[in-house]
Amino acid sequence: MNDLLVANSVSKNFGDFKALNNVSISVPKGSIFGLLGPNGAGKTTLIRIINQITMPDEGQVLLDGSPLKPIDIQHIGYLPEERGLYKSMKVGEQALYLAQLKGLTKQEAKERLKYWFDKLEIGDWWNKKIQELSKGQAQKIQFIVTVLHRPKLLIFDEPFSGFDPINASIIKDEILQLRDEGSTVIFSTHRMESVEELCDHIALIHKSNKILDGKLTDIQRQYKTNTFEVGLQTSQADEVVNAIKNKFEVFPATFKNLNDDIKLNVKLPSNASSNDLLSFLTSKAEVHHFVEVIPSANDIFIQTVKNN
């Protein structure tokens, strides 16, 4: 059993509105799983079903091979997108309360909180009220509370919103470290650059349906168009460009470089290999830049959503 979490044909209706239609996902153990989709696609509904906040109308969710039980909330840590803390409660008291709700004893919670507060260097906040903290500071507390009970499954919905770049990178490192220590992470965001940075698997939900899922590299391979960025140096630029245009499909390129005379995206026919292009180019000019264009998560997202 390699999947920590499996959702089997989950459907959910709110009145006449179908929020999820027959959605299945499998989240491999120890992976960071990107749950993507435009606003209102049904991501949050799926996440709430995993957290047993709402019940699915059809289908079921398996955690570690067996259907979700109420006790399983102890094994899940959830950082919702709409998040906050009791404003007039002290940081320490509040963290203890939330940790106890997740099944930790007061003593355990205290020790682990101390560890995390030291780690993130916020020990002196213990007796402050939430309303005295900035938004980013409150987010840190929220993050700690989410991971404190060492859940098998962590669900982060837009975890970086409200953080400055420094703190965002601290949190990103913590997420990676948690993954390395054996946690599985479901990660929902609209920031595609962090998807590329963190996720090994993704699923794309659009209008209540899952329209794409799999390993990120597989998907990228599937979406690649056999296009190469080419940077050449030559004294007869026009001539060379025309020669390439006669043989291949060519698009303008935008990559950065220092002193190339010719910058092009060259698309190869599906039967041609990159070596064919390279040998053709070397015969015409000096090659400085030769990279296969990997479709970005952003491109894949936009392209897939538009096609559906």
- Binding residue for another protein (CB under 8 A) from 9, 65, 86, 242? 86
The CB-of-86 to another protein minimum distance in angstroms stands at: 6
**Contact letters for another protein, residues 53-82 (x by CB under 8 A):** xx---------------xx-xx-x-xxx-x
- Binding residue for another protein (CB under 8 A) from 9, 14, 58, 197? 14
The CB-of-68 to another protein minimum distance in angstroms stands at: 12
Q: Which sign, positive or negative, has the C-alpha torsion 163, 167, 170, 174?
A: negative
The CB-of-100 to another protein minimum distance in angstroms stands at: 6
Compute the distance between CA of residue 143 and CA of residue 159 in angstroms, rounded to an integer.
8
CA distances (Å), origin 199, targets 29, 51, 110, 182, 286? 13, 21, 32, 15, 37
Cα of 227 vs its chain's centroid, Å: 25
Pick between residue 154 and residue 198 the one whose CB is nearest to another protein.
Answer: 154
- Count of residues for the chain? 308
CB-based contacts of 294: which residues, under 8 Å, 6+ apart?
A: 220, 224
Applying CB under 8 A, does 252 fall inside the site for another protein? no
Pick between residue 72 and residue 213 the one whose CB is nearest to another protein.
Answer: 72
- Binding residue for another protein (CB under 8 A) from 9, 40, 101, 257? 101
Neighbouring CB atoms inside 10 A of 212's CB total: 20
Q: Which sign, positive or negative, has the C-alpha torsion 220, 226, 232, 235?
A: negative
**104-133: contacts with another protein (CB under 8 A):** none
Residue ranges binding another protein (CB under 8 A): 14-15, 48, 51-54, 70-71, 73-74, 76, 78-80, 82-89, 97-98, 100-103, 142, 145
